[in-house]
């Protein structure tokens, strides 16, 4: 049924002529609208609770008690113009922005047509591409740094509007980009979530970079059963954040629509005027327990719950509309009936909706548009022209360069080609204090391994800059930027220190596309210096651990062994449409092994294509990274001393990996070693060995052997390091044993 417009009580043409009274800038009609959405929001929660009890849906978490601040935020912001990173209690916000009751219930039943996730996420995990409501997840707080990255992307586009043009031959072809010059990013969270480190990292960057982010903390004084005074030192988050520069602060009764709207308008105004971020601390209530899996009567006495109930935003708004004679009880009853009818209609339709097809489960793990394993990513190195010099002698071929050189050159060429690329991380800039560069007082740093050297000088601090020392900050912001269509190519200084970013790397970066059913994606590149054999690198500068990441669906994992591959694979990583973890072995950065002339600005190596380093007949060795040169040395020795030949396969990319080449080689030699630098047990080679044992059993003349590090960490003392990491002699011994098995 089409809902009739319920108007203010005294409404008539004559009445409209007189100057209309407003309430903190909201008209009577807007207040009625606010009440209608708040009531709708509550009724949807109530209906979902009923459906859950009837086992027609499978989870419920409500927005009850948070309706007023949500509606106020929606009035102060613009859908499909501003950007939204809401959390699960933001039902009223999403309804006012334009999400429909049917859409919400489609998620509750897990329907194929659920626009937020296609049946993949729990209800109240909002995501509406057409409204700029970005796909939300369950880990509390991961949205906050992403919102910071989103705001940075908006400012970047405003400074570089030409970058929004659709590109071709890479991810830009499939990434629609839009921005508004005065857009604002909204992000909300609960009081408990302010205890997360990522919250503080986000405030720090938003403050320092004066970003137009409006942070809304919806403080219902509980995080499940843990009260606010246990979460927050002193019990009030506003007091703790008050000294962040550039912020506008508001603390408000979030159950009062008018007061909340006044606070939100001020906050949004500050951000829109590019004065900096804003922080709105809204005191709300939580009348329905944490979720349907929780019973708050176990930890909240009746009198406390009664006290809360007196502040129920719906009751308050109802009373206000009557007191102000904006609506009488009859009109309110009519409004209630209309809303209840709307909820019933949406419920009927949602319950009839088809579930997703079982065959669809692996859709959108990766980009459906651009396949980095395809021949589109296979190009030849540009052959350097050999020009005759004046004396008639051909000029010398260009000098071979190190892996570090070629990665640096590749980054430079890609940045020239694609202005959407931004680079940040710890120490990656040449010099943050730009005046030292312009006055030519210093040479500049450009990364602890100098991989990003000269990039800031060529491309400006706008595109290449230092981050705070905070790994979650680096990855979380890059997720937000990539969601908006930028191409962040960020650096994690040492693999050993990647763990603070793990929540973003496991639960966000590779999941954005799958969990939103392809409505959003975040194809960022994370470069990481990895590995040992450093002589003195010790425990915390030598770790591997790639299998932890190859275990993550949706993430491409690359691990080159030589300069040419590094350049070609990095280019593929940048141009492709999936998130990539690009692992660079520190020991190989400047190694003599595997140097090559720069292969030119278009050289690409496709993912999932191994390189056969040398062919052989007696045993296959499957490996990657810094074990490749060691295995090659061992193979040469085996041939010299015993006349046995090794087929050496360098995987180059670990996810996806080249099963075809592995299988063809094992079928040929019937003997195989999987060698890797990481500790032996549960390492990357376990998966390859298991698959060979499973699928190639009939072809094997010997057991599948693994050669890897000891099950410990890498020690500082060089003799210990040598004993821990797999050496050429270990490989040689295994090759000989297996070849003669």
Ligand X SMILES: Cc1ncc(C[n+]2csc(CCOP(=O)(O)OP(=O)(O)O)c2C)c(N)n1
Alpha carbon distance 499, 483 (integer Å)? 22
Instruction: Answer with the entry of ligand X, Mg ion, none that 673 interacts with (C-beta below 5 to 8 A by kind).
Output: none
Interaction with Mg ion in 344-383: which residues (CB under 5 A)?
none
Residue whose token pair is 């350049």? 567
Residue of 190, 372, 532, 537 that binds ligand X (CB under 6 A): 190
Residue of 92, 220, 231, 367 that binds Mg ion (CB under 5 A): 220
Specify the DSSP element, H or E, that contains 257.
Answer: helix 257-272
Q: What angle do CA 204, 205, 208 make, to 5 degrees?
A: 85
Alpha carbon distance 241, 236 (integer Å)? 9
Q: What is the DSSP string of 267-283?
A: HHHHHHTTS--EEEEEE
Instruction: Answer with the entry of ligand X, Mg ion, none that 140 interacts with (C-beta below 5 to 8 A by kind).
Output: ligand X
Site string for ligand X, 253-292 (x = CB under 6 A): -------------------------------------x--
C-alpha distances (whole Å) from 733 to each of 572, 704, 729 are 37, 14, 6
Residue 224 engages ligand X in binding (rule: CB under 6 A): yes
Taking the complex as a whole, the smallest distance from the CB of residue 191 to ligand X amounts, in Å, to: 4
3-state secondary structure 23-69: ECCECHHHHHHHHHHHHHHHHHHHHHHHHHHCCCCCCCCCCCCCHHH
SS3 of 155, please? helix
Instruction: Answer with the entry of ligand X, Mg ion, none that 138 interacts with (C-beta below 5 to 8 A by kind).
Output: ligand X
Residue 476 engages ligand X in binding (rule: CB under 6 A): no
Cβ nearer to Mg ion, comparing 84 with 222: 222
Candidate segments 69-77, 213-221, 248-256, 288-296, binder of Mg ion by CB under 5 A: 213-221
Q: What is the token pair recorded at 439?
A: 């006055």
Instruction: Answer with the entry of ligand X, Mg ion, none that 193 interacts with (C-beta below 5 to 8 A by kind).
Output: ligand X
Residue 197 engages ligand X in binding (rule: CB under 6 A): no
Residue 90 engages Mg ion in binding (rule: CB under 5 A): no
Alpha carbon distance 102, 395 (integer Å)? 71
Residue 385, Cβ density class (10 Å: 0-12 exposed, 13-18 middle, ≥19 buried) = exposed
Alpha carbon distance 546, 654 (integer Å)? 8
Q: What is the token pair recorded at 117?
A: 């996730």
Residue 222 engages ligand X in binding (rule: CB under 6 A): yes
Alpha carbon distance 339, 67 (integer Å)? 15
Residue of 48, 90, 103, 191 that binds Mg ion (CB under 5 A): 191
Residue of 138, 360, 663, 728 that binds ligand X (CB under 6 A): 138
Residue of 41, 117, 140, 562 that binds ligand X (CB under 6 A): 140
Size of residue set near ligand X by CB under 6 A: 15
Cβ nearer to ligand X, comparing 126 with 156: 126
Residue 136 engages ligand X in binding (rule: CB under 6 A): no
Note if 66 is an active site residue: no
Size of residue set near Mg ion by CB under 5 A: 6
Taking the complex as a whole, the smallest distance from the CB of residue 137 to ligand X amounts, in Å, to: 9
Q: What is the token pair recorded at 622?
A: 């499957």
Candidate segments 120-128, 133-141, 548-556, 568-576, binder of ligand X by CB under 6 A: 133-141
Cβ nearer to ligand X, comparing 62 with 645: 62
Instruction: Answer with the entry of Mg ion, ligand X, none that 127 interacts with (C-beta below 5 to 8 A by kind).
Output: none
Candidate segments 141-149, 215-223, 490-498, 657-665, binder of Mg ion by CB under 5 A: 215-223
Cβ nearer to ligand X, comparing 224 with 383: 224
Candidate segments 186-194, 252-260, 600-608, 683-691, binder of ligand X by CB under 6 A: 186-194
Taking the complex as a whole, the smallest distance from the CB of residue 220 to Mg ion amounts, in Å, to: 4
Taking the complex as a whole, the smallest distance from the CB of residue 199 to Mg ion amounts, in Å, to: 13
Alpha carbon distance 84, 185 (integer Å)? 6
Alpha carbon distance 127, 135 (integer Å)? 4
Alpha carbon distance 197, 205 (integer Å)? 13
Residue 193 engages ligand X in binding (rule: CB under 6 A): yes
Taking the complex as a whole, the smallest distance from the CB of residue 45 to ligand X amounts, in Å, to: 13
Strand partners, 674: 622, 706
- Single out the residue of 257, 127, 277 nearest to residue 215, CA to CA: 277
Residue number with the smallest Cβ distance to Mg ion: 190
Residue 119 engages Mg ion in binding (rule: CB under 5 A): no
Taking the complex as a whole, the smallest distance from the CB of residue 61 to ligand X amounts, in Å, to: 8
Sequence-ordered list of residues with C-beta below 8 angstroms from that of 607, at least 6 positions apart, any chain: 372, 373, 377, 556, 558, 569, 572, 576, 653, 656
Specify the DSSP element, H or E, that contains 666.
Answer: helix 659-669
Catalytic residue, chosen from 541, 551, 585, 642, is 541
Contact indicator for 80, 30 with CB cutoff of 8 Å: no
Residue number with the smallest Cβ distance to ligand X: 190
Residue whose token pair is 């959390």? 87
Taking the complex as a whole, the smallest distance from the CB of residue 66 to Mg ion amounts, in Å, to: 9
Strand partners, 261: none
Cβ nearer to ligand X, comparing 503 with 673: 503
Residue 223 engages ligand X in binding (rule: CB under 6 A): yes
Which letter, b or e, does each residue of 257-267 get, where b requires 16 or more Cβ atoms within 10 Å of its Cβ? bbbbbbbbbbb
Residue 190 engages Mg ion in binding (rule: CB under 5 A): yes
Alpha carbon distance 438, 495 (integer Å)? 33
> How many CB atoms within 10 Å of residue 421?
21
Sequence-ordered list of residues with C-beta below 8 angstroms from that of 228, at least 6 positions apart, any chain: 191, 192, 219, 221, 222, 235, 236
Taking the complex as a whole, the smallest distance from the CB of residue 294 to Mg ion amounts, in Å, to: 12
Alpha carbon distance 481, 175 (integer Å)? 12
Candidate segments 24-32, 191-199, 527-535, 600-608, binder of ligand X by CB under 6 A: 191-199
Beta strands (DSSP E) in 260-418 are 278-283
Alpha carbon distance 564, 539 (integer Å)? 29
Residue 139 engages ligand X in binding (rule: CB under 6 A): yes
Residue whose token pair is 């550039």? 246
Instruction: Answer with the entry of Mg ion, ligand X, none that 670 interacts with (C-beta below 5 to 8 A by kind).
Output: none
- Single out the residue of 225, 287, 211, 276 nearest to residue 248, CA to CA: 276
Q: What is the token pair recorded at 177?
A: 């980009």
Interaction with ligand X in 86-115: which residues (CB under 6 A)?
89
Residue whose token pair is 């909706």? 353
Residue 202 engages ligand X in binding (rule: CB under 6 A): no
Candidate segments 222-230, 238-246, 334-342, 545-553, binder of Mg ion by CB under 5 A: 222-230
Candidate segments 184-192, 578-586, 594-602, 677-685, binder of ligand X by CB under 6 A: 184-192
Mode of pairing for the β-strands spanning 226-227 and 222-223: antiparallel
Taking the complex as a whole, the smallest distance from the CB of residue 191 to Mg ion amounts, in Å, to: 4
Q: How many residues belong to the chain?
A: 741
Cβ nearer to Mg ion, comparing 118 with 192: 192
Cβ nearer to ligand X, comparing 61 with 648: 61
Taking the complex as a whole, the smallest distance from the CB of residue 284 to ligand X amounts, in Å, to: 8
Taking the complex as a whole, the smallest distance from the CB of residue 219 to ligand X amounts, in Å, to: 7
Alpha carbon distance 639, 634 (integer Å)? 9
Residue 220 engages ligand X in binding (rule: CB under 6 A): yes
Residue 516 engages ligand X in binding (rule: CB under 6 A): no
Cβ nearer to ligand X, comparing 89 with 652: 89
Q: Which residues contact Mg ion by CB under 5 A?
A: 190-192, 220, 222-223
Q: Which residues contact ligand X by CB under 6 A?
A: 89, 138-140, 189-193, 218, 220, 222-224, 290
Active site residues: 541
């Amino acid at each position: 049924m089409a809902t009739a417009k319920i108007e203010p009580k005294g409404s008539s043409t004559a009445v409209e002529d007189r100057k209309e009274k407003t309430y903190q800038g909201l008209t009577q009609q807007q207040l009625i609208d606010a009440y209608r959405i708040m009531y709708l929001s509550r009724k949807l929660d109530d209906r979902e609770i009923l459906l859950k009890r009837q086992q027609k849906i499978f989870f419920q978490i409500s927005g009850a008690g948070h309706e007023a601040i949500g509606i106020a935020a929606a009035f102060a912001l613009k859908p499909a113009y501003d950007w939204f990173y809401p959390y699960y209690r933001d039902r009223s916000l999403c309804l006012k922005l334009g999400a429909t009751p049917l859409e919400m219930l489609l998620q509750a039943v897990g329907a194929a047509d659920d626009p937020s996730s296609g049946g993949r996420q729990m209800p109240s995990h909002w995501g509406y591409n057409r409204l700029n409501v970005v796909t939300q997840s369950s880990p509390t707080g991961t949205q906050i740094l992403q919102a910071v990255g989103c705001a940075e992307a908006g400012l970047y586009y405003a400074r570089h509007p030409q970058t929004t043009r659709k590109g071709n031959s890479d991810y830009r072809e499939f990434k629609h980009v839009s921005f508004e010059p005065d857009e604002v990013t909204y992000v909300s969270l609960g009081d408990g979530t302010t205890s997360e480190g990522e919250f503080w990292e986000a405030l720090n960057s938003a403050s320092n970079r004066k970003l137009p982010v409006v942070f809304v903390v919806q403080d219902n004084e509980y995080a499940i059963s843990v009260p606010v005074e246990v979460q927050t030192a002193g019990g009030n988050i506003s007091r703790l954040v008050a000294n962040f520069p550039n912020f506008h602060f508001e603390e408000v009764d979030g159950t009062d629509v008018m007061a909340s709207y006044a606070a939100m308008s001020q906050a949004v105004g500050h951000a829109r005027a590019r004065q900096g971020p804003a922080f709105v601390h809204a005191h709300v209530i939580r009348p329905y327990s944490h979720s349907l899996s929780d019973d708050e009567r176990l930890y909240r006495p009746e009198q406390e719950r009664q006290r809360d109930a007196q502040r129920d935003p719906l009751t308050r708004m109802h009373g206000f509309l009557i007191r102000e004679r904006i609506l009488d009880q009859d009109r309110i009853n009519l409004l209630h009936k209309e809303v209840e009818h709307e909820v019933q209609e949406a419920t009927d339709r949602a319950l009839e909706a088809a579930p997703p097809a079982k065959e669809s489960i692996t859709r959108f793990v990766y980009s459906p548009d651009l396949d980095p394993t395809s021949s589109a990513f296979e190009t030849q190195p540009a052959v350097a022209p050999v020009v005759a010099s004046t004396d008639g002698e051909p000029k010398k071929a260009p000098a071979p360069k190190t892996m570090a050189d070629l990665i640096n050159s590749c980054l430079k060429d890609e940045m020239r080609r694609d202005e959407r690329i931004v680079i940040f991380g710890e120490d990656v800039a040449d010099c943050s204090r730009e005046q030292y560069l312009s006055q030519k007082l210093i040479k500049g740093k450009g990364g602890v391994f100098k991989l990003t050297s000269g990039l800031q000088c060529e491309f400006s601090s706008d595109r290449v800059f230092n981050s705070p020392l905070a790994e979650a900050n680096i990855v979380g912001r890059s997720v937000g930027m990539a969601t908006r269509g930028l191409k962040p190519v960020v650096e994690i200084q040492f693999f050993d220190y990647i763990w603070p970013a793990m929540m973003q790397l496991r639960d966000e970066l590779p999941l954005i596309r799958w969990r939103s059913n392809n409505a959003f994606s975040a194809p960022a590149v994370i470069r990481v210096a990895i590995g040992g054999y450093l002589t003195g690198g010790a425990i915390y500068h030598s770790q591997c651990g790639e299998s932890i990441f190859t275990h993550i669906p949706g993430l491409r994992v690359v691990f080159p062994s030589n300069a040419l591959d590094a350049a070609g694979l990095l280019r593929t990583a940048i141009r492709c449409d999936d998130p990539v973890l690009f692992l660079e072995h520190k020991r190989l950065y400047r190694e003599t092994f595997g140097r090559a002339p720069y292969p030119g600005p278009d050289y690409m190596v496709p993912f999932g294509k191994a390189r056969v380093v040398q062919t052989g007949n007696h045993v296959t060795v499957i490996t990657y990274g810094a074990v490749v040169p060691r295995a090659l040395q061992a193979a040469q020795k085996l041939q010299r001393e015993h006349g046995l030949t090794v087929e050496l396969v360098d995987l180059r990319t670990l996810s996806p990996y080249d099963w075809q080449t592995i299988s063809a080689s094992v079928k040929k030699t019937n003997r195989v070693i999987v060698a890797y630098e990481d500790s032996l047990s549960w390492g990357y080679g376990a998966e390859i060995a298991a698959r060979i044992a499973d699928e190639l059993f009939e072809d094997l003349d010997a057991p599948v052997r693994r050669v890897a590090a000891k099950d410990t960490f890498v020690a500082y003392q060089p003799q210990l390091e040598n004993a821990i990491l797999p050496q050429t002699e270990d490989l040689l011994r295994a090759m000989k044993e297996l070849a003669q098995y």
